[in-house]
Amino acid sequence: MLPHSIISSVVFDSPGTPFPSAYSQLDYYFYDQSCPRLQMIVKYGVWAAISNETRIAASLLRLHFHDCFVNGCDGSILLDDTNDFKGEKNALPNRNSARGFEVIESIKADVERACPSTVSCADILALAAREAVVLSGGPFWSVPLGRRDGLTASQKAANENLPGPFEPLENITAKFISKGLDIKDVVVLSGAHTIGFAQCFTFKNRLFNFKGSGKPDPRLDSSSLTNLQSMCPNKDASNTNLAPLDSPSPYTFDNSYYTSLVSNSGLLESDQALMGDSTAAALVNSYTYMAYLFNSDFAASMVKMGNVGVLTGKNGQIRKKYQQQQPPPMEVTQQAYTAHTGHGSVGPVIAVLAVITILGVIAGMIGRICSGRRIMGHGQYDFEGWVERKCSSCLDGRVDPPLARPADIPVAEPVKEEEPQETKEEEQEQNKHKSHASTSDS
């Protein structure tokens, strides 16, 4: 049958009202400002997945069911096992059965690129389920949003609370009621089996040994029995073979599932059991003749189920990766603050600032050179001339020659340094000696 779950605490607005109180905290326009492209991203991701494999539509719808029926619609089915808990992926109803995780992962990655740390995995699951139904030919419904992701998962809860294909209708109904749902929701949401497939082990007992009788289920239509026995031979090797839940149209979301129940061709024992209850059978018959009523009721029940046990406000978290918890925020204490302060942390900052300053100066100098402006003076400080001579190949073109000084600005002649007085006297004395020597020689 369909998924189920356990809600540790579902609070109702009033006695007899099946909606959880968190229902009023969700909003159809929750991401209109923070992530306006969300629904288009999800729609495209589901469309691409179904284009690649038509069967994945039913798998995405089932993921949402199995998420909401265990700990509420909090994305817990996506979590991997940790040291603190065993997740739901390997629970008996999900092991080698739950599919579509890679589709949700891909959509989540696209959403994170568009709107980082904004949209929960739980909301993506709810939207993906809706798109899977619509793209399979089913009804559209607006999805209230604002769910947050759970911090834990429970394999034990999944094993105990998800309705099984062998359970009597009374047990399944009780599990639905514990979530704020009712018998009508059981019948309507069972209609999700209008698309998808089931493994042979989930119904093989009806084909060969119904309730230990050694014979097939007497309620099963004879032609359906023959076809199913050929798909699922009475041997263990066939346990994982697949059979359509709704053989007339396994890929189309329509009301033929209910037609099959009326003709005793329902695949699962839990599906055919709907015809054994007067209230459920009346609903089945009405959906057989009125497809529009089924579509309308299915949309309403999906909204109702999608609000089971949701986390909102500051509860839960927004995961960045669909299968991993976010680490809790670090609490800043005096000890933690002291450990992260001091010269050890200031030094690298000073070094970085120094490098930035140096690079800025160099960039400014190059900018002035390239624009023809001077940085320093002439003569021994002619920096531009040096660059022109030594580094002109580094620039985009040569540096323009320095602008000529205006004619009306006098240029000071270089001042000649005066020789020391002692040096002049020594020269005069030497000249006297030379003159005297010259006279003697003559």
Q: Is 72 annotated as a binding residue?
A: yes
Q: How far apart are CA 347 and CA 86, in angstroms?
A: 45
How far, in Å, CA of 325 to CA of 312, rounded?
A: 17
- Residues 141, 138: Cα–Cα separation, whole Å: 10
Find all residues with CB under 8 Å of 216, minimum gap 6, and list them: 206, 207, 208, 210, 225
Determine if residue 427 is labeled as part of a ligand binding site: no
Task: Give the integer Cα–Cα distance in Å for 210 and 257.
Answer: 22
Tokens 């009806």 sit on residue: 206
Tell me: is residue 254 an annotated ligand-binding position.
yes
Residue 338 annotated as part of some ligand binding site: no
439 φ, ψ to 5°? -65, -40
Q: How far apart are CA 108 and CA 319, in angstroms?
A: 9
Residue 281 buriedness (CB in 10 A; 0-12 / 13-18 / 19+): middle
CB contact at 8 A, 189 and 301: yes
The C-alpha atoms of residue 127 and residue 423 are separated, in whole angstroms, by 102
Q: Determine whether the annotation assigns residue 67 to a binding site.
A: yes
Alpha-carbon torsion, ordered 290, 295, 296, 297, to 10 deg: 90
Six token digits for residue 75: 């994305």
Select from 49, 66, 46, 36 the least CA-distant residue to 134.
Answer: 46
Helix, strand, coil fractions of the chain, as percent rounded to 5:
50, 5, 45
- Is 344 marked as a binding-site residue? no
List of residues 6+ apart from 21 with CB closer than 8 A: 11, 12, 13
The verdict on whether residue 163 carries a ligand-binding annotation is yes
The residues assigned a catalytic role are 66
CB of 63 closer than 8 Å to CB of 98: yes
Task: Please check whether residue 240 is in contact with residue 198, taking contact to mean a CB–CB distance below 8 angstroms.
Answer: no
Is 193 part of any known ligand binding site? yes
CA distance 326 to 340: 23
Nearest by Cα to 181 from 20, 14, 2, 1: 20
On whether 64 is known to bind a ligand per the annotation, the reply is no
Report the length, in residues, of the chain.
442
246 among annotated binding-site residues = yes
The pair phi, psi for residue 242, each rounded to 5°, is -110, 145
74 labelled binding-site residue: yes
Tell me the binding residues for Ca(2+): 67, 70, 72, 74, 76, 88, 194, 246, 254
Binding site residue list for heme b: 193
Detail the residues annotated as belonging to a binding site.
Answer: 67, 70, 72, 74, 76, 88, 163, 193-194, 246, 254
Which residues sit in the known binding site for substrate? 163
